[in-house]
Amino acid sequence: MKIPKSHPRYDSLMAREALVEGVKEGIVVRQGLIAHGRGEAFDYLIGEVSIEPAIEAEYAAAGRLLKARHPVISVNGNVAALSAKETVDVALGVGATIEANIFHRTEERVQKIVRKLKNAGAKEVLGLDPDARIEGLDHPRGLCAKAGIYSADVVLVPLEDGDRARALKDMGKVVLTIDLNPLSRTSRVSDITIVDNITRSMPSLAGFANELRGDDERIDRILSEFDNKKNLSEVLKHITRRLTKLESVSFD
Ligand code: PTJ
């Protein structure tokens, strides 16, 4: 479907098209459309922009990835459909390994996600031959690569279900996420939660990583000042203020 750039909901409609295309290509599961709808609802409440707490979290996440010994970005179907190229940009910018790691696992879908990421410029993508397990997760969700998620010190798990984030934390890893729902289990359990749309967040992460690279003093300051609980509470305050303002807006 051709969507004119002038359409007021252009970005949102393009994201939907990318996901529907992803379902047709076998990259996205149908459940991914439902997950996206939940994300959209929160984005609507936020105002469909990157708010200040999100930008703060993006700086912190970029810094944390740059400081990591072995950073890994976990990619699922929705992430591949919405942000393949931008995810590769972030990985190249921070020196992270990419691993396709999916909830509704089939070998065919992992292969398609790997191909999509390679077509977007990734040199290597792990996930096809899992040789380790995320402790505490039932088969096949716990399958992962020893050289990837299993041995990572910092893992970025965007658009994630809560169990895996919790299990990764229990393995002692620093967990970063991108999740429009500030109330989700993943958001609550992660060390750094970016409450922003992945379509806005991945480009920001890549840009902020470029800005911070080599400036360890600034990264350390950003990380020491960042407080995830406080950040999530700022997001909720933003939504509350926005809804209170909108209460008095007339639509006729
Ligand atoms: O490809 P698979 O098999 O790994 O499955 C992927 C999905 C997304 C279906 C799976 O991980 C899942 O069911 O996730 P959840 O539990 O629905 O969580 C996804 C979270 O991502 C929710 O909290 C949504 O609000 C959030 N979300 C959805 N779309 C976006 C988003 N956050 C940021 N940007 C989005 N575009």
Kindly give the distance from the C-alpha atom of residue 221 to the centroid of ligand 1, in angstroms, as a whole number: 31
Instruction: Give, in order, the Cα–Cα distances in Å from 162 to each of 111, 175, 221, 236.
Output: 24, 11, 29, 19
The 10s digit of each residue's pLDDT in 156-172 is 999 997 789 999 999 99
Closest CA to ligand 1's atom 23: 181
For 231, other C-beta atoms within 10 Å of its C-beta total 21
Kindly give the distance from the C-alpha atom of residue 42 to the centroid of ligand 1, in angstroms, as a whole number: 12
The whole-number pLDDT of residue 251 equals 66
Model confidence, pTM: 0.96
Residues with CB under 6 A from ligand 1: 29, 31-32, 35-36, 38-39, 42, 76-78, 82, 102-104, 159-161, 178-181, 184, 197-198
The whole-number pLDDT of residue 140 equals 78
Q: What is the CATH number of domain 52-238?
A: 3.40.50.12640
Q: How many residues does the chain have?
A: 252
Q: For the residues of 59-99, what is the DSSP string, one character each? A: HHHHHHHHH-SSEEEEE-HHHHHHHHHHHHHHHHHHT-EEE
Continuous segment of H or E residues that includes residue 115: helix 107-119
Shortest-distance atom of ligand 1 to CA 179: 32
Closest CA to ligand 1's atom 15: 161
Shortest CA distance to 98 belongs to which of 76, 81, 67, 82? 76
The whole-number pLDDT of residue 69 equals 98
Shortest CA distance to 205 belongs to which of 91, 101, 124? 91
For 207, other C-beta atoms within 10 Å of its C-beta total 15
The whole-number pLDDT of residue 5 equals 82
Residue of 42, 114, 159 to test ligand 1 pocket, by largest number of atoms within 8 Å of CB: 159
Closest CA to ligand 1's atom 7: 32
- Between CA 248 and CA 252 the distance in angstroms is 12
The interaxial angle of helices 228-247 and 30-46, nearest 10 deg, is: 70
The whole-number pLDDT of residue 141 equals 78
The whole-number pLDDT of residue 134 equals 94
Kindly give the distance from the C-alpha atom of residue 201 to the centroid of ligand 1, in angstroms, as a whole number: 14
Shortest CA distance to 83 belongs to which of 71, 70, 98? 98
The whole-number pLDDT of residue 150 equals 97
The whole-number pLDDT of residue 252 equals 63
Kindly give the distance from the C-alpha atom of residue 38 to the centroid of ligand 1, in angstroms, as a whole number: 8
160: which DSSP letter?
A: -
The whole-number pLDDT of residue 1 equals 67
Contact present, 142 and 134 (Cβ < 8 Å): yes
The 10s digit of each residue's pLDDT in 88-105 is 999 999 999 999 999 999
Kindly give the distance from the C-alpha atom of residue 191 to the centroid of ligand 1, in angstroms, as a whole number: 18
Contact present, 39 and 30 (Cβ < 8 Å): no
Q: Give CA 39 to chain center in angstroms.
A: 12
Q: Which amino acid is at 119?
A: N
The whole-number pLDDT of residue 87 equals 98
Kindly give the distance from the C-alpha atom of residue 36 to the centroid of ligand 1, in angstroms, as a whole number: 6
Residues of the chain with pLDDT under 70: 1, 251-252
